[in-house]
Amino acid sequence: MRSLEDVVLKKWSAAVLAGALAVGALAGCGGDDGDGGGGGGDKLVMGFSQVGAESGWRTANTKSIQESAAAAGIELKFSDAQGKQENQIKAIRSFIAQRVDVIAFSPVVESGWDPVLKEAKDANIPVILTDRSVDSTDKTLYKTFIGSDFVLEGQKAGLWLTKEYEGKPGPVNIVELQGSPGAAPANDRKAGFAEVIKKDPKFKVIASQTGQFTRTDGKEVMEAFLKTYPDIDVLYAHNDDMGLGAIEAIEAAGKKPGTDIKIVTVDAVKDGMTALSQGKINFIVECSPLLGPQLMDLAKKVKAGEQVETRVLTEETTFNKEQATAALPTRKY
Ligand code: GZL
C-alpha cells in the first residue's frame, strides 16, 4: 500500500518530468530564430488579457510576459481586466476584431468562457491559456494550457503539515484564506490540501474564507478569525500576499506568526520568502509566475501551425526557512 507521501511525491516528480519533457519538446522543435513571427518574418501580434494586479505574483507574471514578448519580437496588445471576467471577455472580443495572430489569457475564473472562445475559434484565431485553466469540456477551444498543477500545490502544503505534526496529539485547528472565488488556483489548492489532511482526523479546518489573493483582504479576514477563534494553530493561505496580510493581523493581536500560529502559503514571491527566512512563515510551496518565455515559444509554434503540447506544466519546488534564506539573494521575483 503506497503511502500518501509516495503518491503525492510520485505525482510531483511526474509533473516535473512532464514539464521538462514539454520544455524539451518545445526546444527540440527547431526553435525560432527569434526574428519574430512564425512565417515570413512579419511580426507576430498577440492579444493578452491579464487577470489584474492583485498580488506580487501577478506583477511578476505581467513583467515576465511583457519582457518576453519584447525579447521575442512579438507585438503585445496587453489588457488588465482588474479582476473582472466581463473585462476579459470584452478584451478577447476586441482582439478578435483587431485580427491578432494569437490570443493568450489567464482566466480569472474557471467557468463561462465557451461562447467567447467559440468566437475566437470561428475567427480562426488560436487561443493559449496561461497560469489558470477553464472548465470547458470542448478542448478544441484552446491550443494549450501552460501553468501549474494547483491540486498538487495544495497537496504539497498538506503533506508539509502532516509531517510537521507527525506524532503530536490533536486537535490541530486550521484556518484557511482562500483565493478569489471561482478561480482555478483557489478551487484546486483547497481540494488538494483537504485531500491530504482528511487522512488524519486531528486536523480540523475550523474556518475557510476568501481573502481575494490580496494582502488587504487577507489581513481583514484574519482579524475576524482571530476575534472568533482563540485557539488557532495553523494558517493555510492560498498565496503569500494573503499570508503577509494575516501576519500583520496576528502580530497586532499580540501573537507570534510562525510560532504561535504556523503558516503555510503558496507562490514564493520575494516578500513571502523574506518572511519565511525570518521565521514568520514556516513553509512555502512555489508557483512560478515566469511563464513569459515558454508562452512566446508556444505562440510562435501555434502561429506556424506546429503541433504543441496540450498541457505545459511549470516546474516548481518548495521552500523551508533555510532554503528560502539561501535562495533569496538570487530570487528573480
Ligand atoms: C497562480 C495564480 C495566483 C497566485 C496568486 O498561478 O493564478 O493568482 O497564486 C495570484 O498570487 O493572485
Q: Relative to the CA of 184, which ligand 1 atom is closest?
A: 7
User: Ligand 1: which of 239, 290, 313 to mutate, most ligand atoms within 8 Å of CB?
Assistant: 239
Nearest to 232 by CA among 211, 201, 253, 210: 253
Q: Taking the complete model, does pTM exceed 0.85, yes or no?
A: yes
User: Ligand 1: which of 188, 213, 312 to mutate, most ligand atoms within 8 Å of CB?
Assistant: 213
Q: Which domains does the chain show, CATH number per domain?
A: 17-148+289-314 (3.40.50.2300), 150-287+322-330 (3.40.50.2300)
Nearest to 277 by CA among 241, 247, 321, 244: 321
Q: Say how many Å lie between the CA of residue 168 and the centre of ligand 1.
A: 32
Strands (E), 51-100: 75-80
Q: Say how many Å lie between the CA of residue 311 and the centre of ligand 1.
A: 18
Strands (E), 179-277: 203-210, 234-237, 262-267
For the chain, the straight-line distance linking the first and the last C-alpha, in angstroms and rounded, comes to 40
Predicted confidence at residue 73, as pLDDT, reads 98
Distance in angstroms (rounded) separating the CA atoms of residues 17 and 168: 35
Predicted confidence at residue 28, as pLDDT, reads 34
Predicted confidence at residue 38, as pLDDT, reads 34
- Profile the chain (333 residues) by mean pLDDT over runs of 10 residues: 58 54 39 36 91 97 98 98 98 98 98 98 98 96 97 98 96 98 98 98 98 98 98 98 98 98 98 98 98 97 95 95 97 89
What's the pLDDT tens digit per position in 42-86?
799 999 999 999 999 999 999 999 999 999 999 999 999 999 999
